[in-house]
Chains A and B, each alone.
Chain A
């Protein structure tokens, strides 16, 4: 049993292409539902353009947005996975190839010299989050993340005494504050607890869970539903022109916290919730899922 490195890179390029040229199925149906719900002409115009744009992207395999994002990967790798030695390299190479072939906008800039690397790779970029799991397989989540929505992220080291009410206030304040800037209707990732770094990472990881799917733990699922409902009462609307749909979903992940700290991270994803997955089986077969 062997894995072909070329196959892996080709599949990863295909995964990146799928991700940047479409939104997830659940996101698309949620946007269609939103269009039915909206009454104001302005909100409808925005959603119509969004849906038409999604069709063009799919039909022509064209990036739906000119900001093809920072290439971001969440990789679940089994402890007995046999091709660990080539995985990171293959991901890097596939990003370079995708930049040429899809094509992607070169979005990796040295913060000191301001030079653009030109191929979407650089120091610590693409961004890869590793998760070690049991087994012999690897599952690679691809989530290109746009700059406009990422810029609206927030971390607050909340006074723990403010409790859950404080958490809700921070999330709703931020959704109101960011208004039309992250290209709503957004999917909002929320990370609670851990330290500053973990809260932010969890907020981004929470976005991997499909729109409409609730957290398996009841207490979190309830909190998600409450925030979803309340966020949509704010009236920001599609692209900030006013309306009933400000967010498509709120996804929460949490970690245990230090007694003195209660980090609350809010990290929005634009309506263009672009994602894809590549799976490597124990026999070395590579498959693009979605």
Chain B
């Protein structure tokens, strides 16, 4: 399976299609609801890191301090649809190319992915131990006091984190939409046989 490195190469991301799976080596940052809101309120120049260079991970980690250093206990994805109200604006403003979460996102995000050559990837829900194992170091944390542990921006240096499955791509495809259509057809059929 392919391993993508950060800083992210936008051309490489444009070529990704739904069904592709890959790993990441480099830096990923976490961002949940409050983190999106925080950055959207700020001027781009004030943001202490460049969100276009690294993959964004919808995650509120279980994390604690050991001998003065942050250690990740478990770090699976959180439900991405909560970020739907922010994501198109976030992509537009900061140029983020890889978004990782679970459960998929909706139309507004899909349009933004198309416009900006970005992808949404699903990381397996609950696979927090596997991710924690791929995190080599907590490089930094931003707005911890302001946002609290789950909502802060955690910068993780990762070695072969993943696998991440592309479920929404820059050509307007969405596995989540396709599966929803199929499930609703299947449901009607199964119920008609009761």
Contacts and interface: CB of A to CB of B under 8 A. Distances in A.
B133 A60 contact: yes
B125 A179 contact: no
Contact of B165 (A42, A148, A272): A42
Given A48-B163, A68-B62, A240-B179, A62 B132 contact: yes
Contacts of A230: 190, 194
Interface stretch (A4-12, A136-144, A167-175): A167-175
A239 B179 contact: no
Contacts of A183: 102, 125-126
A24 interface: no
Interface in B107-125: 122-125
A241 B122 contact: yes
A68 B64 CA distance: 14
B178 interface: yes
A155 to B, nearest CB: 20
A75 interface: no
Given A64-B74, A103-B73, A241-B175, A179 B126 contact: no
Given A49-B124, A240-B103, A272-B126, A235 B191 contact: no
A49 B77 CA distance: 13
A232 to B, nearest CB: 10
Given A60-B133, A173-B187, A179 B122 contact: no
Interface residues of B, number: 44
A235 B64 CA distance: 39
Nearest to B188: A176
Contacts of A48: 163
Interface string A25-57: 000000000000000011001101110110011
Contact of A234 (B19, B73, B183): B183
A63 B122 contact: no
Contact of A66 (B21, B62, B124, B194): B62
B180 interface: yes
Contacts of B126: 50, 53, 64-65, 67, 146, 183, 270-272
B187 A176 contact: yes
Contacts of B163: 45, 48-49
B194 A242 contact: no
A148 B59 CA distance: 13
A105 B62 contact: yes
Contacts of A41: 19, 21
Interface string A71-104: 0000000000000000000000000000000011
A181 interface: yes
Contact of A148 (B64, B125, B191): B125
Contact of B75 (A42, A66, A172, A181): A66
Nearest to B179: A242
A42 B19 contact: yes
A284 interface: no
B129 A50 contact: no
A236 interface: yes
A181 B79 contact: yes
A219 interface: no
Given A148-B125, A179-B179, A240-B179, A234 B187 contact: yes
A44 B53 CA distance: 29
B62 A63 contact: yes
A66 B76 contact: yes
Interface string B173-185: 0011011101110
A67 B61 CA distance: 9
A63 B71 CA distance: 13
28 contacts: A42-B19, A42-B167, A45-B163, A46-B122, A49-B162, A50-B124, A56-B133, A62-B129, A64-B127, A65-B126, A66-B59, A67-B126, A68-B62, A68-B74, A103-B64, A146-B126, A148-B79, A181-B103, A230-B194, A233-B186, A233-B189, A234-B183, A237-B179, A239-B124, A241-B165, A242-B182, A270-B126, A271-B126
